[in-house]
Structure 1
Amino acid sequence: MAATTPLNHIFKIPSEIIEHALTLCHPRDVASFSQTCQKALRLVYGSPDQYLWRQLFLLFPFDDPLRISSPFQEDGQFSWRKELHRRMKAQSIACRTSSTLEDLLTAIETFISVVRSAAPVTWGHERVSSPNLLWVVEVLQSTNMLRSPLLFSQEGNQPLARLRAYLALTLDEYDDDDVEGKERLKSIRMRSRSQVYDLRNYHQDNEWGPFNVTTGEVDWTHIESIINVVSMNLSDRPHDWPDTRPRYGLEATRAYSAPGTTTPATGDWAGIEGHWRRYVCFMDYRDLFAFNYENRGRGQQDGTYFDTPNFEEVARLVELKLRLIDAQEIPEVYILDRFPDSPYKHYPTLYFTGSSWGIQGNEATVVGSVAMSEGGVVRWRFASIANSHIQWSSEGVQIGGIASAFGVIGTWTGIRHDHGDPVGPFWLYKVEDDHPIYMRAFMNN
């Protein structure tokens, strides 16, 4: 008489029931089960459909990729098993006490793709979080992977900078008695200022914005630096405009998470029309000149030039009201550098105008355009006009998906880009139309 084993008893159960039971297990336990015998291996990996792996993926849980445009689809077919394995491998790498640099960078690429494939916010479900993003935050918080010494040597690594830009220092908070945390943020701030205010980083080859000179793609190291500079300036001013701060962190990167964009106006795929806020930062011009010309080479790479108690940056809040216009309505005074035609037929280049008001009451006309780049990143380009004179130009990118609550991160400079023109970072974000208006007297005029 043949000996019986627990597995012999298990396989007396219909395979559909076994499969259903496995959907309630962790994917790694399912993988372990598959190694117990040939029958288990065939059940887990040999099924012609992907029911088991689809259920494991969705019940983990992750966002359903079939509800969104996913970068993981191959030949129109999403591989549930392959993608789940990839994510579990990334989590395993993050949990290790020691990993190779190659493995860490592979995991970072995976986390970025998970963030980018998060489900968009839909009407009536604005407060429902994305399982994709909850998973990424949980893994990174519990493992502290991004503080690996190996990653500190990766300055300029674009995927790493992109992930850190999405997080916007949300994993770098510290307690009052955390001396190491304070020093780390101080170092980050000095390096970021050095990147943002170095005039050598702005020229025609990168369109005077945060873009790569050679490829024209987004320079995520520069974007991360801008976010660091603006967010830390705001943290220094807790009592200035306390109820109007941009949203940041992974949840704010979701498509259509900006106020009023789950049901955009016809033709306004980027969610342009409405009420916006913009934080603009800049150095005193004497400091900017000294940093770039008098002290070139001294303290520019590590930002030690800024490590003085007397150095200050200025932060200004600007309000904007924007509306769409046809390209033919662009004012003649504004010579618009047109974006290349969009490769995405559903995302044609949009043009807008509007008004902006500073805290001092200075009023200007804003005019610009928004386009979808080939890399799937939304780009913004605009300028301000006052007294019939064009003054400043701005180049930025939407962080995350279309119409994200995170908003647009970029840089501003003089419209003519003359030698020695000032430059600075900005953070533009959308607010509710009924949001309290600081410059209400001007808005009502």
Structure 2
Amino acid sequence: MAATTRLGRVLQIPSEITEQALTLCHPYDVESFSQTCRKARHLVYGNPDQYLWRQLFLLFPFDDPRLISSPFQEDGQFNWRKQLHRRLAAQLIACRTNPTLEDLLTAIETFISVVCTAAPVTWGHERISSPNLLWVVEVLQSTNMLRRSPLLFQEGSNQSLARLRAYLALTLDEYDDDDDEGMERLKLIRTRSRCQVYDLRNYHQDNDWGPFNVIAGEVDWTHIESIINVVSMNLSDRPCDWPDARPRYGLEATRAYSAPGTTGLATGDWAGVEGHWRRYVCFMDYRDLFAFNYGNRGRGQRDSTYFDPPDFEEAVRLVELKLTLIDAQEIPEVYTLNRFPDSPCKHYPTLYFTGTSWGINGNEATIVGSVAMSEGGVVRWRFASIANSHIQWGSEGVQIGGIASAFGVIGTWTGTHHDHGDPVGPFWLYKVEADDPVYMRTVVNNQVNA
């Protein structure tokens, strides 16, 4: 009776004040309050403006979805209560010791949604982190969900899991020197990633010889994750090589306009193409690549033990680029068949660019390419290198995260003529500051070598 009396007194308070007090509570406590009586339930769930749930959502905290403008967002008003419940349910699933496979996939897809709806970086607030991304990292770190996921060790990794792991880029897979289990796990991940990246059967006309599924324009996230794993681990093996020229990665680097100088993009350059870029390119010795794909162990199913010897390693090259936009009519004739078609999307028209690229020791080439927005809202890059008026290497890549993300573009390169046995390899392309010291040194070295 006493509890009922106290509740009655609470409900005698103006509903606006009670509602404001509830915004200071955890959503679970708010739901418990709603179950006490009909008036409480109406107060929590009956207001059509969803003021209470909007405040609970933003104070949790999460990024304000009203700040995100994209033609690819779902139509209709944002359902604050539904989205908050969805995220809290994913957190509960992550905390479970043995979640069902269905629940696990539901949680993973929710985390991807949270990452993809992180607020873009804005001018003057470049160092302010996204609450969305901080929440995802905190949940995954505290629950260790991804390391416990049985999907991680299944052949043919799930696309949603691969996409989330690609965004994280091994940032949650670090281990201590005495962590033998962690070391073995990374070794397994690296071997599987190499098998995926260097298997020539994964490149053909139906997937544009890139990291895509046979469905046109659909990203193969298992391939993207494998590329990130291969390049990042190759760089980890070389801590003394280019220590000041490493790409940014992890969830914060996936935010739109987080790349240097892109918070105030020039009109027409929606993808942040113009400027200075850095590219890491990896490749196997051609004899190794041929043996893996066509040798005794390469017949039928490629043998992962090919990468087991401790002395096996790939070559890694650092390439600098400077890109500028051009009109479609200025595309060299040698590249016209390789470019993306003009986009019908008025917000994101297809962009065309040219520029130069060079390595530490010179080897200058002309770069020609195009950038397009896919139907799924993923930015695709396609470009080729031209030397002595001959097109040589073609590249297909995907912007990881939002438009003009600091993470950059992940993809694969191969011969533009796609002859049988052409080599193939992964690359990581990302934007750098115009006054980047490593970039300036390579400019000077390139001029001296010229």
1:364 is paired with a residue of what secondary structure? strand
Contact 1:343 1:374 in 2 (8 A): no
What is the number of residues matched between the two proteins?
445
Supply the distance in 1 between the matched residues of 2:177 and 2:71 (Cα, whole angstroms).
42
How far does residue 3 in structure 1 lie from its aligned partner after superposition?
8.7
Mapping of residues 125-204 of structure 1, within 5 Å: 125-151=125-151, 152-153=153-154, 155-204=156-205
Give the structure 2 partner of residue 84 of structure 1.
84
Supply the distance in 2 between the matched residues of 1:139 and 1:28 (Cα, whole angstroms).
17
Supply the distance in 2 between the matched residues of 1:234 and 1:145 (Cα, whole angstroms).
26
Structure 1 residues 206 and 23, CA gap change in structure 2 (3 angstroms): same
Mapping of residues 404-415 of structure 1, within 5 Å: 404-415=405-416
Range 301-310 or range 240-249, more displaced: 301-310
How far does residue 217 in structure 1 lie from its aligned partner after superposition?
0.5
Structure 1 residues 305 and 44, CA gap change in structure 2 (3 angstroms): same
2:334 is paired with a residue of what secondary structure? coil
2:335 is paired with a residue of what secondary structure? coil
Mapping of residues 204-219 of structure 1, within 5 Å: 204-219=205-220
1:180 is paired with a residue of what secondary structure? helix
Supply the distance in 2 between the matched residues of 1:133 and 1:393 (Cα, whole angstroms).
34
Q: Which amino acid aligns with 2:421?
A: G
2:25 is paired with a residue of what secondary structure? coil
Give the structure 2 partner of residue 439 of structure 1.
442
Supply the distance in 1 between the matched residues of 2:114 and 2:3 (Cα, whole angstroms).
47
1:11 is paired with a residue of what secondary structure? helix
Give the structure 1 partner of residue 109 of structure 2.
109
Supply the distance in 2 between the matched residues of 1:340 and 1:92 (Cα, whole angstroms).
45
Supply the distance in 2 between the matched residues of 1:154 and 1:420 (Cα, whole angstroms).
26
Contact 1:253 1:406 in 2 (8 A): yes
Range 229-238 or range 352-361, more displaced: 352-361
Give the structure 2 partner of residue 20 of structure 1.
20
1:371 is paired with a residue of what secondary structure? strand
Supply the distance in 2 between the matched residues of 1:348 and 1:164 (Cα, whole angstroms).
30
Q: Which amino acid aligns with 2:444?
A: A
1:223-256 CA-partner distances (Å, limit 9, x unpaired): 0000000000000000100011000000000000
Percent identity of the aligned residues? 83
1:356-381 CA-partner distances (Å, limit 9, x unpaired): 01122110000000000000000000
Structure 1 residues 301 and 9, CA gap change in structure 2 (3 angstroms): farther
Supply the distance in 2 between the matched residues of 1:121 and 1:282 (Cα, whole angstroms).
34
Supply the distance in 2 between the matched residues of 1:302 and 1:69 (Cα, whole angstroms).
46
Give the structure 1 partner of residue 8 of structure 2.
8
Structure 1 residues 87 and 57, CA gap change in structure 2 (3 angstroms): same
Contact 2:339 2:382 in 1 (8 A): no
Contact 1:299 1:305 in 2 (8 A): no
Contact 1:275 1:319 in 2 (8 A): yes
Range 220-229 or range 352-361, more displaced: 352-361
Give the structure 2 partner of residue 230 of structure 1.
231
Supply the distance in 1 between the matched residues of 2:76 and 2:100 (Cα, whole angstroms).
33
Range 71-80 or range 87-96, more displaced: 71-80
Structure 1 residues 278 and 300, CA gap change in structure 2 (3 angstroms): farther
Structure 1 residues 264 and 216, CA gap change in structure 2 (3 angstroms): closer
1:290 is paired with a residue of what secondary structure? helix
Mapping of residues 343-362 of structure 1, within 5 Å: 343-362=344-363
How far does residue 343 in structure 1 lie from its aligned partner after superposition?
4.5
Structure 1 residues 387 and 70, CA gap change in structure 2 (3 angstroms): closer
Q: Which amino acid aligns with 1:180?
A: E
How far does residue 443 in structure 1 lie from its aligned partner after superposition?
5.2
Structure 1 residues 63 and 47, CA gap change in structure 2 (3 angstroms): same
1:339 is paired with a residue of what secondary structure? coil
How far does residue 298 in structure 1 lie from its aligned partner after superposition?
6.9
- Point out where structure 1 has 5 or more consecutive residues left out of the alignment: none
Range 431-440 or range 421-430, more displaced: 431-440
2:12 is paired with a residue of what secondary structure? coil
Supply the distance in 1 between the matched residues of 2:242 and 2:141 (Cα, whole angstroms).
29
TM-score, normalising length from structure 2? 0.95
Supply the distance in 1 between the matched residues of 2:250 and 2:310 (Cα, whole angstroms).
30
Supply the distance in 2 between the matched residues of 1:259 and 1:295 (Cα, whole angstroms).
47
Contact 1:70 1:117 in 2 (8 A): no
Supply the distance in 1 between the matched residues of 2:70 and 2:429 (Cα, whole angstroms).
27
Contact 1:382 1:394 in 2 (8 A): yes
Output the aligned Cα RMSD. Answer: 1.9
Q: Which amino acid aligns with 2:36?
A: T
TM-score, normalising length from structure 1? 0.96
1:306-331 CA-partner distances (Å, limit 9, x unpaired): 00122110000000000000111112
How far does residue 74 in structure 1 lie from its aligned partner after superposition?
5.6
How far does residue 163 in structure 1 lie from its aligned partner after superposition?
0.3
How far does residue 14 in structure 1 lie from its aligned partner after superposition?
1.2
2:333 is paired with a residue of what secondary structure? coil
How far does residue 342 in structure 1 lie from its aligned partner after superposition?
2.7
Structure 1 residues 191 and 302, CA gap change in structure 2 (3 angstroms): farther
How far does residue 99 in structure 1 lie from its aligned partner after superposition?
0.8
Supply the distance in 1 between the matched residues of 2:308 and 2:255 (Cα, whole angstroms).
36
- Point out where structure 2 has 5 or more consecutive residues left out of the alignment: none
